[in-house]
Chain A
Amino acid sequence: MLLEVSDLFVSYGGVEAVSQVSFSVGEGELVSIIGANGAGKTSILNAVMGLVPPSRGAIRFDGSDITRLASHLRARSRMRIVPERAHVFAHLTVLENLLVGAYGLRKSMDVQQRLRSLYEFFPVLEERSSQLARTLSGGEQQQLSIARALISDPKLLLVDEISMGLMPKLVETVFQALHDLNRRHGLTILLVEQNALASLKIANRGYVLEAGRIALEGDAADLMRDAGVREAYLGI
């Protein structure tokens, strides 16, 4: 398994947001964690990325224990996050945002070549490369956030609530892009989503999170057929 999380607890000031969560993501998989707002999805991703400290539990990535590793060192072992609401650097240009994504990699990879292939995937970013990121629309910022993560050629991409605040049409495009990245380019992706239907449609496997605990897990197709899931999350 590329990522293995076991018995993870995250709490904020004594309030438990994540309780005893265990899950794994294998190489080449697209795994989705679905759940309602406030179920602890973002806390899980932030704990994996090292942005919040877990109170208990263990996180293993690519064969080593990273539970206590600083965030920037996790990033350097080729893990990247696309945070909720994009979080682009508003006062840097689009190109500068992408170069931050390639921080420390200029010697080991051909950054110009990476930029060219990303621009092929996201043509709007090339058009706007010298604009400040804050002048982009929400969908464009989301694309920039994905491209900023992808420029480093990560082994694992964490994607946090990418559908939030996007128009339905864009949601479809963005999920299609993630699907392509996984199926065609072999990128391993861990998705957390409120939009259960769209994310299960493209996932191999899924976990259902309820009040900080894993309530259900299985193949994405099985989850979509599950009566409880259909009623609670898919609105069918």
Chain B
Amino acid sequence: MDLFLEQLFNGLAIGAIYALITLGLALIYGIFGVLHVAHAGVYTIGAYIGYGVYAATGNLALAFAVSALLCALTGVAIERFIYVPLMKYPPYVPLISSIALFMATEEFCRLVAGPYVLSFSTNLPFPAFSFSGIRFSSNLTGVYVIAGAIFFFLWILTTKTETGLALRATSMDAPIASSLGINGALAVDTAFALGSAIAAVAGILVGIYYNEVHPDMGAMPAYKSLALIVVGGLGSVEGAVAASLLLGVAETLLIGFAAIPLPRDALAFIAMIFVLMWRPTGLFGARS
């Protein structure tokens, strides 16, 4: 039973990290209509910047802040200089450029930092404790607290603020939102900045949690998060979060605990296939 619970909590932490990556993708797709595959590239860059700042200063909070800020700017730059000029073409054009951009960021990281696995050996500054026999490492606690804080912040932002209302209105009907005084370009910038900053945080968390940062670390999140936003319902942020948490738990329990002989990373795609067959709009998909 203890092992089961321990696995459950680990799975939830992994799911929370998936969610931090995927929600940015859902947010951007919802408001901009582009499958931003290079989002996982931004996540990789975020992990490297965090690693670099921490190695140089020893200040983890600074590493998070600098990385989030630089990645927010990177995300907005990708939107403004790559996607926006391509929006006049059919949707597969920005999609293909997004895939190319993702590969370019991987190679960029390899060129700058070398093709090695860097070890991000530090602990998140949170208490480790045991609760009725289940051990929570400081990193596990840290992932919970940081992810929880970000989810809470986003919930407040989207449901309680005028900016959040403008983002939701724009994602539902951009022309009508603009005819009511909402600056659509600013809403898109906001989505890219927010999503990218959160992806940077996720990159650092993964680097520390698994103690490694490497140029290919974005590959698995890149296609897993695509499967996850399909399962969650394209463009639905709450759907993306729910699907991510479910996947983290399912991967850990089914393959780690129940020892089903499947490659762990196949599960997201199996789930995607079943969801597409049974409910093509996704778990939370509202739009048709």
Contacts and interface: CB of A to CB of B under 8 A. Distances in A.
A92 B162 contact: no
A80 interface: yes
A209 interface: no
Contacts of B162: 99, 103-104, 106
Contacts of B166: 100, 103
A229 to B, nearest CB: 31
Interface string B160-174: 001001101100110
A179 interface: no
Contacts of B175: 51, 71
A103 B180 contact: yes
A121 B162 CA distance: 25
B177 interface: yes
Interface stretch (B65-73, B104-112, B181-189, B252-260): B181-189
A50 B165 CA distance: 22
Nearest to B187: A72
B238 to A, nearest CB: 12
Given A89-B169, A92-B168, A100 B182 contact: yes
A72 B176 contact: no
B179 interface: yes
A49 B175 CA distance: 10
Nearest to A51: B175
A90 interface: yes
Given A92-B168, A96-B165, A103 B181 contact: yes
A230 interface: no
Contacts of B173: 87, 89
A181 interface: no
A197 interface: no
B286 interface: yes
B121 interface: no
A80 B169 contact: no
- The 3 A-B residue pairs with the shortest CB-CB distance, nearest first, are A75-B181, A71-B178, A72-B178
20 contacts: A49-B179, A50-B179, A72-B182, A72-B183, A75-B179, A76-B181, A81-B179, A83-B176, A89-B172, A91-B286, A92-B168, A96-B168, A99-B162, A100-B166, A100-B177, A100-B180, A100-B182, A103-B166, A104-B182, A152-B181
Interface of A: 49-51, 70-72, 74-76, 80-81, 83, 87, 89-92, 96, 99-101, 103-106, 148-149, 152
